[in-house]
Structure 1
Amino acid sequence: MLMVGLTGGIGSGKSAVARRLAERGAVLIDADRIAREVVAPDTPGLAEIVESFSSRVLAADGTLDRAALGAIVFADEAARRRLEEITHPRVRSRTAELAAAAAPDAIVVNDVPLLVEVGLVPTYHLVVVVETAVPIRLERLARDRGMDRAEAERRIAAQADDARRRAAADALLSNDGSLTDLHAAVDALWSGRLLPYERNVRERRVAPQQAQLVDYDPTWPRQYARLAARIRHALAPADLRIDHIGSTAVPGLAAKDVIDVQLTVATLDEADATIAQRLADAGFPRMSGEWWDDPRPAGRGRWEKRLHGSADPGRPVRLHVRVADSPGWRYALLMRDHLRADPGQRSAYLLFKQELADSAPESAGSPTAGDPWFDEEYLRAEEWAAQTGWRP
């Protein structure tokens, strides 16, 4: 199954997105609804809240007075954290039960208001963020919930800001327009990304990768960081080294829009036995066939590795699994760091790629390992490493 995290600031319209995804066929798990269930009358959760915050958070009928509790916790960070200590473990446990009950081919959407704040981003195959301008959110909170402006502003300030949520987003849905516009964006996400992503994960299939050379995207490092966190979560408690490598790791360098990631392992046999399946479950299936790196200088055999890709059609990835301190592992890091450190070589490589793209469009500016440029760059990089004392 595909696990999707859905979040957005209060008043953003996240619930409208959740309803639309459920209409399309998603299994919806509503964290707010579960949060109410775990503090219903006669539950251990409610008893612990009363013990922590006194009976003033109880309504006359014995239910939780959420407004009274909200007035306390949204004005006091320590109180809010105490409430989270009580409710979040219970919500996570119930969420896991509901997800486990879903069909193997389900797309499970977890509607979690505080997904970013509590660090859940790496636990999903994909995170969808609904973003709406603050003035529009304030207007909605006043109109739909009867919330006064000061209280609405406090609630918004207590949550992650737009920049932090945007950094966590694999897919960003703007909700500044009409409901029709929002539904169209959700439908496109469902059919163009979520459905094929789920199928690819279930069938252990890598999504097609585009080969077009594009300008440097300053969000590539941020996208890598999300991928690395997801991989690290999938492999926990193992704490393996993960690096951003390749052209997308070099600021200012045009590249194919494919994030190259290097995962460091002790042996490839161990990776096959203990890591490959977990990577596939997390959305990074192994590519079929044998894969290796051509050595530098050329003509000295080959450097064996494993290669995984991304099941997500919206984010192509090449995940290179290499043995620590092996020649291919070292070369990937050396090449990256030398190009980062030497603007002249970075410019030369960019010119080389652009000339290649102009002369052979089918290559998309992607040099082959046999190009003499790589041997020349390898010698320059080794000289730079010796002069600077570089270590991988």
Structure 2
Amino acid sequence: MLSIGLTGGIASGKSLLSARFRELGAVVIDADQLARDVVAPGTPGLAAVVAAFGPGILRPDGTLDRPALGAIVFGSPQRLATLNAIVHPLVRAAAQALQADAEPGTIVVQDIPLLVETGQGASFHLVVVVQAPERERLARMVSDRGMTAADALARMAAQASDEERAVVADVVLVNDGTREQASAALDGLWETRLLPFSRNLVARRPAPMEGPAVLAPADPTWPLQAARLMARIQAAAGDRGIAVDHIGSTSVPGLAAQDVIDLQLRVASLDDADFLATALADAGFPPHAGNLLDTGHDFAGGRQGEMWEKRFHNAADPGRPVNLHVRVDGSPGALLALAFRDWLRADASARRAYESHKRLLAFNHHGDSSAAGYAQAKEPWFAQMVPDVNGWIARTRWHCPQA
């Protein structure tokens, strides 16, 4: 099933989107409601909170006096951390149980106000963040919730900033218009990205990447996008994943590239690579049909023309194309990918030469139905540059980055 994390600052419109997700057919899990449920009377959660903060946080009927508890923890990071250490694991366990009960093929949305603050982004296939201008959020809290401006500003200041949420966001929906406009934006996301992503997950197939190679200007957000993907891959691989690397042209600042993120998962053996195929597919990276081979270029002890085996996966997400190369750690193919990346990062003239060559090849293959011919045509350039890379390695004493 497709798992979505939904978050946003107070009064940004998260509740509006949660309601619309339900109308579209998603299973919505409300972390705020679960946080109340796990400290209901008679629960182990409430007993743990009372043990930590005393019986003064209970009302006469035995329910939790939330304002009293809030007065204790608000402004005290240590006491807030104590409360979170009790409640957050219980909420996550309850959410996981609800998600496990969902039918296969369901889109499950977890509405988590503190998703960023609790570092849960890698647990989801996608994180959707709803944002609204601060002045509008402030007005909503004052008019709709009866808060004073000072209290509203304090609540906003206690949460992650928009910039911090943007770092973990795969999708940002800006709610600065009408409710109908916000719902329409979510509807568009649902139809064009979430439904196809969900179907691809069920079928364990990559999203199609059609059309010729088109070079885009260097995007400074590519490394941030890669970091989010890498965290999900590492979580899926667990202890069998030695390292996840951002490689390829999108990993080189200032270099024009196809808007396709290339990543490398290093493992101890191809048996581990095969073992991880199911976990990677579940995480949103199903195997490519057939396994590919890396062509050796007399690099790191390899023989000219030698073939190096790897496993190859793509993204099921139609909104974020990904090539995932699964290689044995320390193998010539893994080393070559990292060395070329670091050489291009370090050598401006090499970057210019490579970009010029790519632009020529993209022009030559602009009428192709896919980027396969363009990719194949780049290989001779890499072979020609291997001596330069080897010379750079010797001069700089480059070594493979450690996990």
SS of residue matched to 1:130: strand
Provide the rounded CA distance (Å) in 2 between the counterparts of 1:391 and 1:28. 47
Provide structure 2 residue ranges, at least 5 long, that are not aligned to the other structure: none
Please give the per-residue CA displacement for 1:288-338, whole angstroms capped at 9, x wherever unaligned. 113112221596132211100111111111000111222211111111010
Instruction: Name the counterpart of 1:230.
Output: 232
Provide the rounded CA distance (Å) in 1 between the counterparts of 2:54 and 2:135. 35
Q: How does 1:337-356 map to 2 (within 5 A)?
A: 337-356=342-361
Correspondence 1:242 to 2:244: yes
Larger displacement relative to structure 2 (11-20 or 325-334): 325-334
Q: How does 1:315-334 map to 2 (within 5 A)?
A: 315-334=320-339
Provide the rounded CA distance (Å) in 2 between the counterparts of 1:291 and 1:45. 51
Provide the rounded CA distance (Å) in 1 between the counterparts of 2:89 and 2:379. 55
TM-score for the superposition, normalised by structure 2:
0.93
Q: How does 1:19-38 map to 2 (within 5 A)?
A: 19-38=19-38
Larger displacement relative to structure 2 (215-224 or 354-363): 354-363
CA positional deviation for 1:369: 5.2
CA positional deviation for 1:366: 4.0
Instruction: Name the counterpart of 1:87.
Output: 87
Q: 2:217 is aligned with what amino acid?
A: D
Runs of 4+ in 1 over 6 A off after TM superposition: none
SS of residue matched to 2:306: coil
Instruction: Name the counterpart of 2:144.
Output: 144
Instruction: Name the counterpart of 2:13.
Output: 13
Q: How does 1:1-392 map to 2 (within 5 A)?
A: 1-209=1-209, 211-272=213-274, 274-296=275-297, 300-362=305-367, 366-368=374-376, 371-392=379-400
CA contact (8 A) 2:244 2:266 kept: yes
Provide the rounded CA distance (Å) in 1 between the counterparts of 2:151 and 2:15. 20
CA contact (8 A) 1:9 1:113 kept: yes
1:237 and 1:331, CA in 2 relative to 1: closer, same or farther beyond 3 A? Answer: closer
CA positional deviation for 1:239: 4.5
SS of residue matched to 1:302: strand
CA positional deviation for 1:117: 0.8
CA contact (8 A) 1:75 1:154 kept: no
CA contact (8 A) 1:209 1:258 kept: no
1:170 and 1:370, CA in 2 relative to 1: closer, same or farther beyond 3 A? Answer: closer
CA positional deviation for 1:286: 0.5
CA contact (8 A) 1:31 1:95 kept: yes
Provide the rounded CA distance (Å) in 1 between the counterparts of 2:150 and 2:219. 39
CA positional deviation for 1:39: 1.2
Provide the rounded CA distance (Å) in 1 between the counterparts of 2:59 and 2:134. 31
SS of residue matched to 1:384: helix
CA positional deviation for 1:79: 1.5
- Over aligned residues, Cα RMSD in angstroms? 1.8
Provide structure 1 residue ranges, at least 5 long, that are not aligned to the other structure: none
Identity rate, percent: 52
Q: 1:45 is aligned with what amino acid?
A: G
Please give the per-residue CA displacement for 1:51-105, whole angstroms capped at 9, x wherever unaligned. 3223443334432222332233232111211111111111111111111111011
Provide the rounded CA distance (Å) in 2 between the counterparts of 1:225 and 1:79. 32
1:86 and 1:59, CA in 2 relative to 1: closer, same or farther beyond 3 A? Answer: same
SS of residue matched to 2:41: coil
Provide the rounded CA distance (Å) in 1 between the counterparts of 2:258 and 2:333. 21
Provide the rounded CA distance (Å) in 2 between the counterparts of 1:152 and 1:106. 36
CA contact (8 A) 2:4 2:128 kept: yes
CA positional deviation for 1:185: 0.8
1:144 and 1:301, CA in 2 relative to 1: closer, same or farther beyond 3 A? Answer: same
CA contact (8 A) 1:11 1:140 kept: yes
CA contact (8 A) 1:74 1:154 kept: no
Q: 1:300 is aligned with what amino acid?
A: G
Provide the rounded CA distance (Å) in 2 between the counterparts of 1:51 and 1:4. 34
CA positional deviation for 1:157: 1.5
1:236 and 1:301, CA in 2 relative to 1: closer, same or farther beyond 3 A? Answer: closer
